[in-house]
Chain A
Amino acid sequence: MRSYLRQQRICYLLQLRVLSTSLFDGLLAVFFPLMFATAALLVYRIKDDPDGMQYAGLGAAIMGMWTCQGVIASSLLTRERWAGTLELLVAAPIPLSRVLVPITMALSTIGLYCVVATIVWERLVFDIRLEIASWPLFVLSVLMSALTLALFGFFLSVTAVRYRTSWSLGAALEYPGWLLCGFLVPVDLLPDWLHPLSWSIPTTWAMAAVRDAANGVSPWGNLGLCVAVGLVYAVVAAYLGRRLVESARRHATLALT
């Protein structure tokens, strides 16, 4: 058990180092969603309605997470494949899941960093002071957003790794996620036929839970749904991952050489 935890911890730290080596890259990753958040906040600012700013401020924070973390996660396996390390991970004697869990945690950490960076930016530039009714529940909801988004990203990554152009997948998902997850636009406002799509993304529920926690409503219902949806993706991803490795052994698709 101790050696298991140690392996998880070290792999987590090293993966985090891989993901976040340069300050420049880090700033740039936040920059793009931050500018979109800024544009959106400029729109909301016109009405000068504190509730609107609170709504947009919370949404913008989780929106940054969607971009940084989701986009990186969806190209995760593709990156390992291009670096030639995917083969080595598979050839190692420990089960692949023990490699992937710490990677998921490292991704979540990046997501949390984006949330904090966005909140600081909102405070400095727009002077938004988010009113959080329950800090413990708010932090819990944000943590669950990060975790379930990592699982969702991992699911995308397993699905996409076979396609050579899966690089562009993450970027292509950025905008739809911004639209669907209720960050800056309430899901109810979208056309009805899009609702099931929104509900199928764990981040939608996580966003709702974050708002509940901030506004003093019990977030547990939304948190429960968020975890449930996230777990479905985790199970499917684990199954697909095993299939992927088996099929790779059969069809020699693991390496790109």
Chain B
Amino acid sequence: MTLAVEATELRRTFRTTTGTVRRTRKDVEAVKGISFHIEQGELFGLLGPNGAGKTTTIKMLITLLLPTSGSARVLGHDVVADTREVRRRIGYVFGGDRGLYERLSARDNLRYFSELYGVPPRTQATRIDELLELVGLTERDRERVEGYSRGMRQRLHIARGLLHDPDVLFLDEPSIGIDPVGARELRATIGNLVEMGKTVLLTTHYMFEADELCDRIAVIREGEIVAEGTPAQLKGRVSGGRVVEVETYGVLEETVAEVGTVAGIRSVAVEERGQQQVLIIQCERDAEVTQAVLARLGDVRVGRVTAREPTLEDAYVELVTGS
């Protein structure tokens, strides 16, 4: 069976210019030669912080951007040479509220893109009905998109991406800015797609989303893949450890750095939660660090101290902060 997606040493540099009067040019390497593959029917997650190169990678795969070097194939078709064949077989959905004709209704938006994707006229109407049903917009299909909420737009985007029944679907941060209920529905929709036999490449920076959905994950940092595997495998990279969370009020950076020097501690991250700063301390399984940490904190006011098993998010934070 041909691979759904196969990227080999994909590389992309951008030339940016800064300054209006004296222009200085600088080459920025957004993607630094990444290789990965996706099997057909797989849900593959591309995880990484903003600016890591996720969208650039996707845009090369969907033929909107030429790679500087390296190659990629989608269902066996080269993304540079065979653009027509690739475009016929893929769907592309991105997050946010752009990419729709605001003044047209949801149905008209779908009609328009059906024509562009060459959906046969005879099946078009039923196809659109099915998709509106799938994304739960049947009730409001004749309203103009300008009155839609973000979640509704996002679901309409997904319907649009599915119009021509593509085999491979690229979802670029589809859940960005959607409320928790909407995001849950979206995850259910994505789950259904995989059951229908679609291949999905999903980028996100919500860990639980990736954990719940993805068969395999690649973590990308500064244009390079730093880890790849199933969610369980990635968690395994930090397991064999433990996480201690300490709630503090008004902790200073120097103090945090000092905490990091305690024996048995692998890394310390600070998360702001309202007035608190929560220290997330990754440590060796057997190390007894709590007393030492509290000692280092000195007069800093401390709230609850809890210990827990590492999550995918911990693995992710460890990977992308490069510790």
**A252 CB–B CB distance under 8 Å:** yes
Which residue of A is nearest B102, CB measured?
A83
CB of B115 within 8 A of CB of A11, answer yes
CB of B101 within 8 A of CB of A18, answer yes
Q: Which residues of B contact A6 (CB under 8 A)?
A: 115, 121
In the bound complex, how far is the Cα of B112 from the Cα of A11, in angstroms? 6
Which residue of A is nearest B55, CB measured?
A257
CB of B111 within 8 A of CB of A91, answer no
In the bound complex, how far is the Cα of B95 from the Cα of A255, in angstroms? 13
**What's the A-B contact tally at a CB cutoff of 8 Å?**
87
Q: How far is the CB of B6 from chain A (nearest CB, A)?
A: 20
Instruction: Knowing A11-B112, A11-B115, A14-B108, say if A249 contacts B88 (CB, 8 Å).
Output: no
Please report which residues of chain A, range 59-88, place their CB below 8 angstroms from some CB of chain B when the two chains form the complex: 82-85, 87-88
CB of A84 within 8 A of CB of B98, answer yes
In the bound complex, how far is the Cα of B100 from the Cα of A82, in angstroms? 10
Instruction: Knowing A10-B112, A249-B64, say if A87 contacts B99 (CB, 8 Å).
Output: yes
In the bound complex, how far is the Cα of B64 from the Cα of A11, in angstroms? 22
Q: Which residues of B contact A257 (CB under 8 A)?
A: 55, 96, 98
Q: Which residues of A contact B113 (CB under 8 A)?
A: 88, 92
Q: Which residues of A contact B116 (CB under 8 A)?
A: 7, 11, 88-89, 92-94, 99
Q: Mark A219-255, 1 if CB is under 8 A from B, else 0.
A: 0000000000000000000000000000011111011
CB of A85 within 8 A of CB of B117, answer no
Which residue of A is nearest B63, CB measured?
A91
Instruction: Knowing A91-B64, A91-B92, A249-B66, say if A14 contacts B112 (CB, 8 Å).
Output: yes
Instruction: Knowing A14-B108, A92-B117, A249-B64, say if A21 contacts B103 (CB, 8 Å).
Output: yes
Q: Residues of A within 8 Å of B, CB-based: how many?
A: 30
Cβ-defined partner of B103 (8 Å) among A7, A11, A18, A252? A18
Please report which residues of chain B, range 92-138, place their CB below 8 angstroms from some CB of chain A when the two chains form the complex: 92, 94, 96, 98-104, 108, 111-113, 115-118, 120-121
Secondary structure of the B contact surface, majority rule: mixed
Q: Residues of B within 8 Å of A, CB-based: how many?
A: 35
Q: Which residues of B contact A18 (CB under 8 A)?
A: 101, 103-104
CB of B62 within 8 A of CB of A88, answer no
In the bound complex, how far is the Cα of B109 from the Cα of A10, in angstroms? 11
**A90 CB–B CB distance under 8 Å:** yes
In the bound complex, how far is the Cα of B108 from the Cα of A85, in angstroms? 14
**B142 CB–A CB distance under 8 Å:** no
Q: How far is the CB of A116 from chain B (nearest CB, A)?
A: 22
Cβ-defined partner of B99 (8 Å) among A14, A17, A88, A93? A88
In the bound complex, how far is the Cα of B166 from the Cα of A146, in angstroms? 39
**A165 CB–B CB distance under 8 Å:** no
CB of B92 within 8 A of CB of A249, answer no
Q: Which residues of A contact B121 (CB under 8 A)?
A: 3, 6
In the bound complex, how far is the Cα of B14 from the Cα of A7, in angstroms? 37
CB of B101 within 8 A of CB of A83, answer yes
Cβ-defined partner of B87 (8 Å) among A10, A11, A92? A92
Q: Can you give 22 A-B contacts (C-beta < 8 A)?
A: A3-B118, A6-B121, A10-B111, A11-B116, A14-B112, A17-B108, A18-B103, A82-B98, A84-B99, A85-B98, A85-B99, A85-B100, A85-B101, A87-B64, A87-B99, A88-B92, A91-B92, A92-B87, A92-B117, A94-B118, A250-B66, A252-B56
Q: Assuming A18-B103, A94-B116, what are 7 further A-B pairs, CB within 8 angstroms?
A: A3-B118, A7-B118, A14-B108, A17-B103, A17-B104, A251-B14, A252-B65
